[in-house]
Amino acid sequence: MCGLLGFLTSNGTTPDAVAAVDSAMHCLRHRGPDDHGTWHDDDIVFGFNRLSLIDLEHSHQPLIWGPPESPDRYALTFNGEIYNYLELRAELAEKHGATYRTEGDGEAIVAAFHYWGADAVRRLRGMFGFAIWDTEKRELFIARDPFGIKPMFIATSANGTVFGSEKKSILELGPLLGISDALDPRAIEHYTVLQYVPEPETLHADIRRLESGSYATLTPGTAPRVTRYFTPKFDVRPFAPGTEAARYREIGAALEDSVAKHMRADVTVGSFLSGGIDSTAIAALAIRHNPKLITFTTGFERQGYSEVDVAAESAEAIGARHIVKTVSPEEFANAIPEIVWYLDDPVADPALVPLYFVAKEARKHVKVVLSGEGADELFGGYTIYREPLSLKPFERLTPGLRRAAARMSDKMPDGRRGKSLLNRGSMTLEERYYGNARSFNDAQLRAVLRDFRPEWTHQDVTAPIYAQSLGWDPVTRMQHLDLFTWLRGDILVKADKITMANSLELRVPFLDSEVFRVAEQVPLEQRITKDTTKYALRQALEGIVPGHVLHRAKLGFPVPLRHWLAGPELFDWAHQQIVESQTDHLLNKPAITKMLDDHRAGVSDHSRRLWTVLVFMIWHGIFVEERIVPNIQEPAYPVAL
């Protein structure tokens, strides 16, 4: 929920600074159409747009709170939800005498911070990006939730530090702050490989993100001092013999409790529903708390690229009212500039387009939706996690034999059986696996990027993460890596930005501290088997998830991108984007045009690589060239649904 923006000045607050923050909040209007507020003192300006979900008539922000002896000591801006806020409020009142002026979760954050200090973030069960200004100590505290569900961008210059929920609002303050709009070439190369911009980078060199599971403290005239308070770690010991059934019940109970707390709201809560186990489990548990639950799904008319029928069967099985949005190729193409504007930085995941349309449809009926993000990373759900099983014979190869396997693979023609196996087996895990996104190899990058730098590799991003998991089995290391890369770089970015684009809050019960507590104790053999993924989770959901879904393979919201880019649906559109883009200094456009032609001719499937480049071109056309002006309409929604 909500969008925040703040400016901690180095030389004192001025009327121009207050006016600039208030004006830049317009970029965040979609995140909070229900209420708007600003607050400032001699050193800081806070701006806030509110999506009202809890304590609708009160809990306005920026929120002022303090202990009885200093009732106006703190100012808070807070984006997100704290699902254990009722329990925290009661504990703080009983143990410390905390008093409150509202019924919301914001005061629970500030009171916890006052009495427990920075350790308060470890007690917050929810999703959040918030800033607390201590008017007595003249110190700012900024924090982000453990998994990175909610965003926080930061930029610092000699004039001060600006922070906010979206980068575009910080760009608006660039002239005031004295930050450059120069692009970061290394971040561009990372995006091209990974299909997203990895934290803490953004495509603008002077703007960075506060990483997930971190907080920052600063005072006027100083740079942020960042502390990591949460690092996910897996305990991979086997279940004790005879305890399997009890452990499955523990997983189910933790998830049921999480869904119950995620249903807390003073507005209607719905649920996204695909054909897979994760969203179906969430919906099946949610309907226990709201018998009138509405579920939403999306699909395409092309056969094999829709889970609409399976989702409808699931909705009927659990007794939910179900709504379907079908997306046409024309809608798909027309919406892309608007979607990219909302994203801030490009994300080359085509699934975000159907997500945009199903979120838009859901917002007509509800103000909050639950979804199944995070289950794959926590419980071992991606098919790629089974790759180490197939590569086990290569584990003991010496470096020389690995190089020989690589040479053999290089000599084999594309498409030859065994080529991919030899290629993957010739590399170590650190070389081979950098997340679910696999786009350009070095040869393709060299052809596409004007200034390809081979020393800038995915290992810039992944090496420090792999260093945290030395000695773990390969599958667990892959999961750990995805928590820091694919999950927070792709999955959660699109979940936040695309739902908030429609003033809709998305909640993710799998990414809950108590659910992670049980997930981190699931041993490898209970996650991945030769026959299935997420084994323990599937066992835990027996009797909750309908049988036709329980053991079904993962599909998600598939997009017929390969067919559309080769056919009349998107080929001409893609060609036009390449021709009109003013990115010749960054990209080899003739090489990209050839990729598009080869794709149409069936020479090779370049769909994901083309999509990566096309999304960047559109982003560049919006934020750099200012040639593309998306049609961003004013949000017009009622306070409550």
Task: Tell me: is residue 105 an annotated ligand-binding position.
Answer: yes
Q: What are phi and psi of 449, to 5 degrees?
A: -90, 135
Q: Quote the CA–CA distance of 166 and 442 in Å, as a whole number.
A: 32
Q: Helix or strand or coil: residue 2?
A: coil
Phi-psi region of 543 (alpha: psi -120 to 50; beta: other; left: phi over 0): left
State the DSSP code for 613: H
Asked if 370 and 359 touch (Cβ cutoff 8 Å), the reply is no
Cite the DSSP H helix spans in 62-208: 85-96, 106-116, 167-172, 174-177, 185-194
The string over 285-305, giving b where at least 16 C-beta atoms fall within 10 Å of a residue's C-beta and e elsewhere, is: bbbeeeeebbbbbbbbeeeeb
Task: Tell me: is residue 43 an annotated ligand-binding position.
Answer: no
Q: Quote the CA–CA distance of 302 and 308 in Å, as a whole number.
A: 12
Q: Which of 2, 20, 54, 282 is catalytic?
A: 2
| Nearest CA among 355, 358, 353, 361 for reference residue 334 | 353
Q: Quote the CA–CA distance of 394 and 411 in Å, as a whole number.
A: 19
Please report, as a single letter, which amino acid is at residue 66: G
Q: How many CA atoms lie within 13 A of 454 on its CB side?
A: 6
Q: Quote the CA–CA distance of 405 and 402 in Å, as a whole number.
A: 5
Residue pointed to by tokens 């021709």: 579
Q: Quote the tokens at residue 475.
A: 């599958």
Q: Quote the CA–CA distance of 230 and 214 in Å, as a whole number.
A: 7
- Please list the residues that pair with 134 across neighbouring strands: 74, 139
Q: Quote the tokens at residue 136.
A: 């007595």
SS3 helix, strand, coil % of the chain, rounded to 5?
45, 15, 40
Asked if 274 and 301 touch (Cβ cutoff 8 Å), the reply is no
Task: Tell me: is residue 314 an annotated ligand-binding position.
Answer: no
DSSP 477-543: HHHHHHHHTHIIIIIHHHHHHHHHTTT-EEE-TTS-HHHHHHHTT--GGGT--SS-SSHHHHHHTBT
Please report, as a single letter, which amino acid is at residue 284: A
Q: Quote the CA–CA distance of 80 and 128 in Å, as a whole number.
A: 4
- Please say if 27 is a catalytic residue: no
Numbered residues of the known binding site for L-glutamine: 105
Numbered residues of the known binding site: 105, 371-372
* Residues carrying an active site annotation: 2
